[in-house]
Each structure stands twice: as structure tokens, then as C-alpha cells.
């Protein structure tokens, strides 16, 4: 498996992976499909604090992880999102992506990383805990498009 910075050549695979996860439902806060242009802000960012890494296996994107600054004035805190292909065995992708992402976050000057995970996404909560993130806060009862309230769990990792 190869971990590298994503680029525009990856966009169709990124869209396919994320939209499949959105269609299945239950794990991401995204509820509507994204288009290719959604990834422009991550792949062609005008700053050095926004980036996207892909995990490539056999020439195909198997997963990806992006980082972008949390809303100002907290630009020392990175926001993270992680997605892996639903089909096939994806063992080790999240750990490999995060090893590269953590190093890049430190180099970019971030001191913390924030992950916001749906409260019903047990896999996502377990993943970020395994990566060393700790519970920080909860945004309670955020309604989904259908009105169903779901908590958002904010986990933080200290990079200092």
C-alpha cells in the first residue's frame, strides 16, 4: 500500500468512495452525494494547512483522509475526515493514512486535530480512539435531513 498526496487524477475514485458511503448511510454526517468539484478545496487549496492523502493499493484509491484548519481563530486546530472503500478488505488503511497525516499536521504547525464523528458511528469512534484521540465535547441532537437527532462526538488529539 502506498500513501501519497491526492491529486486531481484521483477525484473520480474519491467521489465514488464517499458517495457509496453516503448512499449506505449511518456513518457519515454527509447525507447528499458530492460532486467532483467538492474536492477542489482540498486538492487545490491556496494554503499549506489543507491537504488530502490517499491510500493506494494496486493502482486504485482504497481510502483517503483530509485535513483542513478548523474555523478561525482556531487555525492551530486541524479538522480531519477519513473514508475507506466499502468493498474488499481494508485493514491497515486508516493507520497508514493517519501516520502520514499526523506527521504532515505537525509540519504544517497544527497543535491539535479535531475529529467530529456521528454518535451512532461506532466504527469511526473506535478508529479515532485507537489513533489516540480523546473525547472533547458533544454537540447533542443534531438533526439529520429526515429529522432524526444524532449526537456529534468531538474527539481531539494533542500534537504537542
- Mean predicted confidence (pLDDT) in 133-146: 95
Asked if 133 and 157 count as a contact pair (C-beta separation under 8 A), the reply is yes
> Which residue ranges make up each domain of the chain?
2-158
Over 80: is that where the pLDDT of 73 sits? no
Per-residue pLDDT tens over the stretch 9-19: 999 999 999 99
92-126 confidence digits (pLDDT tens)? 999 999 999 999 999 999 999 999 999 999 999 99
pLDDT recorded at residue 119: 95
Predicted confidence band of residue 134 (pLDDT cuts 50, 70, 90): very high
pLDDT over 70 (residue 82): yes
Burial (Cβ within 10 Å: 0-12, 13-18, ≥19) of residue 89: exposed
Is the CB of residue 115 less than 8 Å from the CB of residue 154?
yes
Query: For residue 137, is pLDDT > 90?
Result: yes
| pLDDT for res 25 | 87
**Alpha helix positions (H), 2-153:** 11-24, 40-43, 93-107, 122-130
Say what the pLDDT of residue 115 is.
98
CATH of domain 2-158: 3.40.630.30
Residue 35 has pLDDT above 90, yes or no: yes
pLDDT at 89 over 70: no
Mean model confidence pLDDT for the chain: 94
Amino acid at each position: 500500500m502506498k500513501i501519497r498526496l491526492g491529486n486531481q487524477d484521483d477525484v473520480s475514485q474519491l467521489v465514488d468512495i464517499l458517495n457509496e458511503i453516503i448512499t449506505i448511510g449511518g456513518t457519515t454526517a454527509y447525507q447528499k452525494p458530492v460532486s467532483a468539484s467538492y474536492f477542489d478545496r482540498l486538492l487545490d487549496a491556496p494554503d499549506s494547512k489543507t491537504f488530502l492523502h490517499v491510500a493506494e493499493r494496486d493502482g486504485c484509491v482504497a481510502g483517503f483522509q483530509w485535513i483542513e484548519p478548523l474555523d478561525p481563530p482556531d487555525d492551530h486546530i486541524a479538522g480531519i475526515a477519513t473514508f475507506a472503500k466499502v468493498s474488499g478488505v481494508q485493514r491497515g488503511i486508516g493507520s497508514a493514512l493517519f501516520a502520514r497525516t499526523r506527521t504532515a499536521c505537525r509540519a504544517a504547525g497544527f497543535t491539535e486535530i479535531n475529529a467530529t464523528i456521528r454518535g451512532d458511528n461506532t466504527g469511526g469512534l473506535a478508529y479515532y480512539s485507537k489513533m489516540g484521540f480523546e473525547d472533547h465535547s458533544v454537540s447533542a441532537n443534531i438533526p439529520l435531513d429526515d429529522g432524526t437527532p444524532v449526537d456529534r462526538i468531538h474527539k481531539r488529539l494533542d500534537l504537542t
